[in-house]
Amino acid sequence: MKELSRIGVLTSGGDAPGMNACIRAAVRRALAEGLEVVGIRRGYAGMIDGDFVEMDRLSVSNILQQGGTILKSARSKAFRTKEGRERAAEHLKAHGVDALVVIGGDGTLEGATRLGEEHNIAVVGCPGTIDNDLFGTDETIGFDSALNTALESIDKIRDTADAHDRLFLIEVMGRDTGFIALSCGIGGGAELVLIPEMLTDMGAIKERILSLMSSQSRSSIVVVAEGDELGGAQKIAEALREESAFDDIDTRVTVLGHVQRGGSPTARDRVLASRLGNAAVEALLEGHSGVMVGIVNNDVKLTPIRNVWGRKKEVDYDLLQLTALLS
Ligand code: ATP
């Protein structure tokens, strides 16, 4: 096993609240072990440009509670090519970086594994994405914060929906998965939740909404995952408005958008991110590479990254039924 002396840390892909807490934990654990730490700014784009910064204890002071990422994030087309990764590896070698902690989603993890295998660099990934779609961990860094931000907005929309007897279609993030939508649906008492994992039957939805809106409570909230195959909340609202039965239903659309990515991480995300940042450095010290650290049933678990990418984590379908049952 190669002796470690200097590790690199980066954040990549979509930013997620809690990434800073993860950076802090990785940096401080590494320093405590006598390692040197280099921060790589702007993810793989910065690695290719040699945008590196020395990290000490003070460099990660007072960031635990901040959203975003002090190292910044980016998406890099060049890193998808062998030539791009070669340029990145040259910079790593020039800076004496033996190993990497990468924080990001499945694309970030896949890129790290390719780099590691092609250039003999040890890499350990931390699951950082609000989408919660990574296999090998019960929750990803940022999911709980994004969920709580969305939920706060849904509660507020509920007040105005109720006051005016309106139907609200609220679109939440999650790319091609429905984790945020499902949890928001339960937590926000939505009447319906539409997710990409479940084919949306427009006829059944129209019937259900008409029945809900003609019942005693004449306001309803439908949570729509942005990746729903019908094309999001706006498209669904247009389809409803085509029906004359909806002429008397005041239908509004709110797309929550990037507000879900920002803000201070929740306590749950801070703890998760701190545990994972620490576990990533520990895994490197133990000689692991090409693995993602996750928390499964409250224990740290290492999963080979090749088992993570392309493998879909299943949503809990019981939650869908519970939404229908409780609405
Ligand atoms: P999120 O889930 O928040 O979108 P992500 O990490 O999946 O995060 P991507 O844009 O898919 O986001 O990936 C981040 C970066 O990782 C890409 O911009 C690219 O530089 C690198 N990357 C992704 N896939 C590959 C790949 N197959 N080979 C090499 N690099 C890759």
* Mean of pLDDT over the chain: 95
Q: Are strands 99-104 and 192-194 parallel, antiparallel or unpaired?
A: unpaired
Which of 40, 75, 134, 305 is the best mutation target for the ligand 1 pocket, counting ligand atoms within 8 Å of the beta carbon and taking the most?
75
Orientation of helix 267-285 relative to helix 143-164, angle to 10°: 160
CB atoms within 10 A of CB 119: 15
pLDDT, residue 259, reads 96
Question: What dotted CATH number matches 144-262?
Answer: 3.40.50.460
Residues 8-21 have a mean pLDDT of 97
For 127, phi then psi, to 5°, come to -75, 105
Q: Residue 327's pLDDT band (boundaries 50, 70, 90)?
A: confident
75 is in an annotated binding site: yes
300 is in an annotated binding site: no
76 is in an annotated binding site: yes
> What sections of the chain are H helices per DSSP?
19-32, 43-49, 82-94, 106-119, 143-164, 179-187, 202-213, 233-241, 267-285, 305-308, 317-326
Residues 202-212 have a mean pLDDT of 91
Q: Measure the CA dihedral 290/136/144/30, to 10°.
A: -30
Q: Residue 22's pLDDT band (boundaries 50, 70, 90)?
A: very high
CB 97 within 8 A of CB 140: no
- Any bridge partners for residue 126, and if so which? 103
Q: Measure the CA dihedral 178/181/183/188, to 10°.
A: -170
227 alpha carbon – ligand 1 mean position (Å): 18
pLDDT, residue 325, reads 87
The sheet with strand 251-255 has its strands ordered as: 192-194, 220-225, 167-172, 251-255
What tokens were used for 159? 């007040």
For the segment 143-192, what is each residue's pLDDT rounded down to a tens digit?
Answer: 999 999 999 999 999 999 999 999 999 999 999 999 999 999 999 999 99
Dihedral of alpha carbons 41, 44, 49, 54, sign: positive
Q: Which residues line ligand 1 (CB under 6 A)?
A: 12-14, 44, 75-76, 79-80, 104-108, 110-111, 114, 129, 131
Which of 72, 80, 115, 312 is the best mutation target for the ligand 1 pocket, counting ligand atoms within 8 Å of the beta carbon and taking the most?
80
CB 184 within 8 A of CB 225: no
For the segment 99-139, what is each residue's pLDDT rounded down to a tens digit?
Answer: 999 999 999 999 999 999 999 999 999 999 999 999 999 99
Residues 274-297 have a mean pLDDT of 98
Q: Measure the CA dihedral 309/103/15/53, to 10°.
A: -140
pTM: 0.96
Q: What does the domain layout of the chain look like in residue ranges?
A: 6-142+265-307, 144-262
| Stretch (H or E) spanning 291 | strand 291-296
Q: Residue 2's pLDDT band (boundaries 50, 70, 90)?
A: low
Whether 6-142+265-307 shares its CATH topology with 144-262 is answered yes
Q: Cα(218)–Cα(211) distance, rounded to whole angstroms?
A: 10
In angstroms, how far is CA 295 from the centroid of its own chain?
Answer: 15
* Architecture of the domain defined by 6-142+265-307: 3-Layer(aba) Sandwich (3.40)
For the segment 248-268, what is each residue's pLDDT rounded down to a tens digit?
Answer: 999 999 999 999 999 999 999
Q: Cα(325)–Cα(319) distance, rounded to whole angstroms?
A: 10
| 1 pLDDT above the threshold of 60 | no
| 216 pLDDT above the threshold of 70 | no
Pick from 45, 36, 33: nearest CA to 7: 36
For the segment 51-64, what is each residue's pLDDT rounded down to a tens digit?
Answer: 999 999 999 999 99
How many residues can be counted in the chain?
327
User: What percentage of the chain has pLDDT greater than the value 70?
Assistant: 99
More confident residue, 318 or 30: 30
